[in-house]
Amino acid sequence: MKKMLLYSTGVVPVLVAWAAVIFLATVKGCFHSPLASPATQSFAGAIEKEIDKQFVGNLALAIIKDGSIELEKFHSAGKPVDRNTVFQVSSLSKWISAFGIMKLVEREKLELDAPVSKYLTRWQLPPGKFNNDEVTVRRLLSHTAGLTDALGYSGFDAGAPVQTIEQSLTKAADADPGKSGSVLVGIKPGSKFKYSGGGYTLLQLLVEEVSGQPFAAYMKQEVFEPLGMVHSTFVWHDSSKYLLAEFYNKDGTQAKHYRYTALAAASLYTSLSDLELFFRAHLPGESGEPIGRNVIKPETIRMMRKPHGQEMGVDIWGLGTVLYAATQNNDFIIGHDGKSTPPVNTAVRLNPETGDGVIVLETGNPMLATRLASEWVFWKTGQVDTFLFPMLLDGMILTIAAGWGVILIGSILIVKVSRFRKKSLPAKT
């Protein structure tokens, strides 16, 4: 019995070491192969192969090098799409919303670290066991305000009544299944990262309170028009002269178009051409235009990609900006993804050091845009980004489990062989 215990004590560290090695190898991408060789055209070919493997309703994609468009690609299962076709982009909305919010910070109409209650008259966070005055603009932008709604909005049918912002914050009628729909402080503000769609709906209300304008009107006037984003809006009108990309279910059938109260969190409509303009606004212009294009300052752009939210000790979120992977000079590949049901999936990756990046907008497939954008990061840098790592988890777990199986079986065999040899030894006289 003592020997068995000794063997067990020796095996546990080996099991832990194996798991640690496989985890680190997965993080480093040791078990993952890039979709294509380094040439851009080969990546474009790889995209075609990925599209052929599964249903895709609509897709608009741009690969950008040194701030210039190197390749655009389009796919449609129905009406053709092009660079000016408008897509509903789900949570990618948050990045653009944060851009407009930071303009109010620059104008000193909002303070990043003041309690948001200072600016609110139409609605307040419900009282709880934590101090609501610790909920700030900075923490809402970075998902560190302690809100536990985890929203997730499903939207409202076209023609159906849409909640007011205040009603949605109190109890979102279109909360995704399994979500409470109530925006409240359930974790000590500033203590950890917790994704919150409700936090951005609260920021939407904040913009309206401070600017005196509807959120969509403020964003049009202060962000879209100055950047030349003529196809972009937070409220879609069916009378629009622009083409809206068709919505599809995973099985290829036509899907509904849903509307949202949560504009800042989930309701941006934009085109590939407009997102290319927004992308370039994060880089110096060819004719000497400044980063931010005089809409917001270069230092504000840089502030937005400073780390504010971490998971497992890894920097993953700035101020409205996802931090996907570290760059060579201690900056980050940045952007945002969007995902909703029926399947809308969108993704942007931008390396501010090189001006390289990718934009993917698609409908009908729940994860294709995210996977292609994350694969672009791996193809370009060899790094597993924030959103590719979860896609590799199943393989990592299987590899760990297989290794553990071999280690345990090997340990049992060693014990049995040891006992057999001991029994086979001649008795001492």
How does residue 121 score in pLDDT terms, banded at 50, 70 and 90? very high
Q: What distances in angstroms separate CA 367 from CA 56, 361, 381, one per listed residue?
A: 10, 11, 21
The answer on 216 and 88 residing in a single domain is yes
Task: List the structure tokens of 351.
Answer: 């390396």
CB 320 within 8 A of CB 101: yes
Are 7 and 46 part of one and the same domain? no
- Does 35 reside within a domain? no
Distance CA 333, CA 311 (A): 17
Structure tokens at 235: 């409220």
Whether 166 and 129 map to the same domain: the answer is yes
**Does residue 424 surpass a pLDDT of 80?**
no
When mean pLDDT is compared across 34-43, 265-274, 416-425, the lowest value belongs to 416-425
Q: How many domains is the chain built from?
A: 2
Do 73 and 25 belong to one domain? no
Instruction: Give the Cα separation of 175 and 173 in Å (integer).
Output: 6
Same domain, 78 and 221: yes
Same structural domain, 105 and 26 = no
71 - beta bridge partners?
63
CA dist., res. 32 & res. 196, Å (int): 31
137-148 pLDDT, tens digit per residue, is 999 999 999 999
Beta bridge partners of 267: 90
Mean pLDDT confidence for 27-45: 86
pLDDT band at 408 (very low <50, low <70, confident <90, very high): confident
Domain match, 112 and 26 both: no
In this predicted model, what pLDDT tens digit does every residue of 341-350 receive, in sequence order?
A: 999 999 999 9
Q: How far apart are CA 96 and CA 112, in angstroms?
A: 17
- Residues 412 and 304 grouped into a single domain: no
Residues 373 and 415 in one domain: no
Instruction: Say what the pLDDT of residue 31 is.
Output: 86
326, β-bridge pairs: 332
> Which tokens belong to 101?
């919010």
Q: Is residue 321 part of a domain?
A: yes
Confidence of residue 410 (pLDDT cuts 50, 70, 90): confident
- Domain co-membership, 167 together with 286: yes
Residue 207 maps to a domain = yes
Domain identity same for 189 and 328: yes
Q: What is the pTM of this model?
A: 0.93
What backbone torsions phi and psi does residue 259 show, to the nearest 5 degrees? Answer: -110, 160
Q: Is 429 part of a structural domain of the chain?
A: no
Residue 25 φ then ψ, to 5°: -65, -35
CATH of the domain at 137: 3.40.710.10
The answer to whether residues 274 and 297 belong to one domain is: yes
Within a domain: 302:
yes
Q: What angle do CA 164, 170, 176 make, to 5 degrees?
A: 85
Integer CA distances (angstroms), 84 to 74, 232, 423, in order: 11, 10, 81
**Mean pLDDT to the nearest integer, 252-257:** 96
Q: pLDDT of 61-80, one tens digit each?
A: 999 999 999 999 999 999 99
Q: What residues make up the domain containing 399? A: 2-30+394-424
Torsion sign (Cα): 214, 220, 221, 224: positive
Question: In the numeric block, which tokens belong to residue 18?
Answer: 């194996």
- What was the pLDDT predicted at 11? 80
* Structural domain contains residue 380: yes
Kindly report, residue by residue over 279-317, the tens digit of the pLDDT.
999 999 988 899 999 999 999 999 999 999 999 889 999
Cβ atoms within 10 A of the Cβ of 325, count? Answer: 20
pLDDT in tens, 181-238: 999 999 999 999 999 999 999 999 999 999 999 999 999 999 999 999 999 999 999 9
